[in-house]
Amino acid sequence: MADALDVGQDHRASAAPLRRKGDLAMPPLSARDLALPPNLMSLARLPLAALFPLVATHPGLALAVLCCAGITDVLDGWLARRSGQVTRMGAIVDPIADKVFALVVVGTLLHNGVLPLWGIPALLAREILELPLALWIALSRRFRGARLSTASANIPGKLATTVQFAAVLAAIALPAALPPALAAAAGVGAAAGISYWVRQLRRAPAAASSPPEAGA
């Protein structure tokens, strides 16, 4: 979902240019938004992260946990767009849940001896590049009152998720395929992270030039 969150201009029509299709006004940060279905779907990846170390040595169960995490990652963005519940809290929770789950999976595979040390940056290339920017966008005053874009998801990001998933499966059940899978994950993940930076930074000047949100 983090790949589909882009920053635009202020929501006030008198001060902002025409909004692009799919842009939504970003509401203020509110803890109550944690109870919204899209954000609950994102939060579901945290107990799944806690469960993964317990089932990692059982390929079938590990695959089930990975599939559940992938489903929540698809559904949270779909629900947010479908119901108009794209929120600043979601922009924070979703990437953090993604990164926590990815870190737990990588740490577990490393602890179990099925992932080489160089596999850590390979599997986490996208997360390493995206997390600082995601937190900056979610928390910076520069982007208060900005809009979230719900345009179609970033293709490199979705491809990176697929390749990461394949690499984790290789580590669990097909060790011979792990080195090429990790190499592919590193390349596609880096491309996804760079594309995320480029897409967001193109919108940063417009967000910075918009008037601040009332009461911000």
122 pLDDT above the threshold of 80: yes
Cα 27 to its chain centre, rounded Å, is 19
Helices 125-139 and 155-173, axial angle in degrees (round to 10): 130
SS3 192: helix
203-206 — which CB contacts under 8 Å span 24+ positions?
203/6, 203/7, 203/8, 203/9, 203/146, 203/149, 204/7, 204/142, 204/143, 206/8, 206/9, 206/17
Quick check: 106 and 88 in contact, CB under 8 A? no
Cα 146 to its chain centre, rounded Å, is 19
Quick check: 146 and 210 in contact, CB under 8 A? yes
Cα–Cα nearest to 79, from 65, 93, 66: 93
pLDDT value of residue 168: 92
pLDDT value of residue 9: 37
67-87: per-residue pLDDT in tens?
999 899 888 888 888 888 888
* Residue with more model confidence, 185 or 155: 185
- Band the pLDDT of 205: cuts 50, 70, 90: low
Q: Where are the alpha helices (DSSP H) in 25-154?
A: 37-43, 45-55, 59-83, 88-111, 119-123, 125-139
If you count them, how many residues does the chain have?
216
Distance CA 132, CA 95 (A): 10
SS3 6: strand
- Band the pLDDT of 94: cuts 50, 70, 90: confident
SS3 27: coil
